[in-house]
Amino acid sequence: MIKRFLSLEWKSFLRSASFGKSLGIKIFMGFLALYFILVFLGMGLLLYPGIKEIYPDKDPLPIVNSLLFYWILFDLVLRFFFQKLPVMSVKPLLTLPIKRSQVVNFVLGKSALSFFNFLPLFAIVPFGVTLIVKDYSVGPVLVWMFALVLIVLIINFLNFIIESLSAETELSFLPIILLTGGLYALNHFNIISFNEIFGNGFNAIYQSPILVLGLIGLLVLVYWFNFKLLRQKLFLDSGLKTKLKEVNASNLEWTKNFGDIAPFMQLDLKLIWRNKRTKSSVWMLAIGLLYGLFFYPQPTYQGLPWFFVFIGVFSTGIFLINFGQFIPAWDSGYYKLLMSQNIKYEQYLKSKFTLMAVSVIILFVLGIPYVFFGWKILLAHFAAAIYNIGVNTHVILYGGSFNRKKIDLSQKAAFNYQGTGAVQWLIGIPLLILPMGLFALFYFLIGFEIACLILAVLGIIGIVFHQKLMKAITAKYLQSKYKMISAFDQNN
């Protein structure tokens, strides 16, 4: 049976309309994975000698154990945002003679093979081998390594439990932030010293390996809980909402100020507000806005003006990147309707452009308080905002004409909690790196002000040629009209 499931998965991968595109992304992801493997490998190899060098008279193993708590917290947060439960279209399988438990086990089993679970091995194994080489007794070290693998799997399944529970709420990432933040704070302020508890726990496992049974029990528990959660979802009517919220229809009259693009603006605003997936991109605004606070308070970054631009482009352009990269796929569900209606493509695209440009302005204005960390930051953000409006909006709209992947706004696919994974973040890279590179170049060649000016001028050029650029972009969309229609018609 598992063989059949695997062949189904393989076919859906090979035969999907976006195969070519996702292949490119997969290759890129491959490189990224290779990079992380090397980083972890290096960590695993250097951990023992490194600790020995800093604390020559201490045993490295308890030190590593005492740090495990932080690793677990960090891994949980990272996985929440980047690892999704494998999606499988289960509806056709439900009426076939396949046990439901088999489907669930397959999905869960597949998730255990995730890259996220193998990555720590690249650090754990070399470190463990070093320990053995350094005359630690073999048996307990092996058990210790086994315990860490169990922890990885526990985090893996715990993440899905957190995801599935928090997917019901509107601010889906709030619970995980509160949970990990809370644990971290409790530990940090020495209210409950988790890192000691975890450290002592692992020390104890090293000393008396039988304790590893506790971890196995925990793993079974989280697996069983996941199993129960997913099995519930394996009924057709679980997709139906139990309570249909009453719709409050607002007429959004104020959009009339935007003239002929008003109907599309209204549609876009409703699109964003009424679908879970788009709505989450609104909440991302908060993250983008506060992103600078991670860096600016630290004196290290004060000396790196070229980095301001990166933050500037990111924090004023987070909506642009998040929303823009899926144009026109947001409308893929009813693309045929739009194409047979009496609309001008240009108005349709202009509405998206206006939305993105307005978001940049709003985010810039909200970000003005960053001036507290220095006027240079404000200047860099200003230049970045202009660059975003003039260049990045057009680039992302143009890129949209290559979009061939349908987005199912209603998210009927079971197990699909948020619909976004690591890939979503990759597309932002050229939009961010290019201006930062340009800025850095002129910053080192000439100076800060000139570099700002260059970025701003590029943005202004884009704004001046807006009409022309939109014409070219529209032509590109018209050119790929038939391809988009047929791709959006396919599932997967």
Partner 1 sequence: MITTNNLSKKYANNLVLHIEALEIPKGQSFGLVGNNGAGKTTYFSLLLDLIQPTTGYIKSNEIQVNESEDWKPFTSAFIDESFLIGYLTAEEYFYFIGELRGQNKADVDKLVSQFEDFFHGEILGQKKYLRDLSKGNQKKAGIVAALIGNPEVIILDEPFANLDPTTQIRLKGIIKDLAEKQGVTVLISSHDLMHVTDVCERIVVLDKGEVVKDLKTSEATLKELEAHFSN
Residue 466: CB minimum distance to partner 1, A: 23
Structure tokens at 368: 């003005």
Does 339 contact partner 1 by CB under 8 A?
Answer: yes
Scan residues 246-285 and list those touching partner 1 (CB under 8 A).
246-249, 262-263, 266-267, 270-271, 274-275
> CB of residue 382 vs partner 1: minimum separation in angstroms?
36
Q: Please count the residues of the chain.
A: 492
3 state SS of 390 = helix
Residue from 286, 304, 337, 472 in contact with partner 1 (CB under 8 A)? 337
DSSP state of 389: I
* Cα(133)–Cα(128) distance, integer angstroms: 9
Q: Which of 57, 244, 253, 298 binds partner 1 (CB under 8 A)?
A: 244
Q: Which part of the chain contacts partner 1 (CB under 8 A), choosing from 70-78, 125-133, 467-475, 479-487?
A: 479-487
Cα–chain center distance at 367: 23
Could you say whether residue 125 binds partner 1 (CB under 8 A)? no
Residue selected from 333, 374, 399, 419 as contacting partner 1 according to rule CB under 8 A: 333
Q: Work out whether 489 is an interface residue with partner 1 (CB under 8 A).
A: yes
55 scored as a contact of partner 1 (CB under 8 A): no
List the one residue out of 280, 271, 274 whose CA is nearest residue 329.
271
Question: What is the closest distance, in whole angstroms, from the C-beta atom of residue 487 to partner 1 in the complex?
Answer: 12
Distance CA 295, CA 301 (A): 6
H/E stretch holding 40 reads helix 19-54
Which two structure tokens, joined as six digits, stand for 320? 């642009």
For the bound state, the minimum distance from the C-beta of residue 20 to partner 1, rounded and expressed in Å, comes to: 18
**Residue 411, SS3 per DSSP:** coil
50, 426, 482, 491: residue in contact with partner 1 (rule CB under 8 A): 482
CA-based angle 315:168:408, to the nearest 5?
70
Task: Tell me whether residue 96 or residue 247 sits nearer to partner 1 (CB atom).
Answer: 247
CB of 86 to partner 1, least distance (A): 25
Token pair for 366: 């909200």
Q: Which stretch binds partner 1 (CB under 8 A): 104-112, 332-340, 388-396, 418-426?
A: 332-340
- 404 phi and psi, to 5 degrees? -130, 10
Cα–Cα distance list, 2 to 8, 102, 105, 230 (Å): 10, 8, 10, 18
In the complex, minimum distance from the CB of residue 163 to partner 1, in angstroms, rounded to a whole number: 23
Applying CB under 8 A, what is the total number of residues that bind partner 1? 30
Instruction: Locate 492 and state its tokens.
Output: 């997967």
Q: In angstroms, what is the minimal distance from the CB of 256 to partner 1? A: 11
- Answer whether 198's CB lies under 8 Å from 66's CB: yes
Q: Which residues bind partner 1 (CB under 8 A)?
A: 241, 244, 246-249, 262-263, 266-267, 270-271, 274-275, 333-337, 339-343, 409-410, 482, 485-486, 489
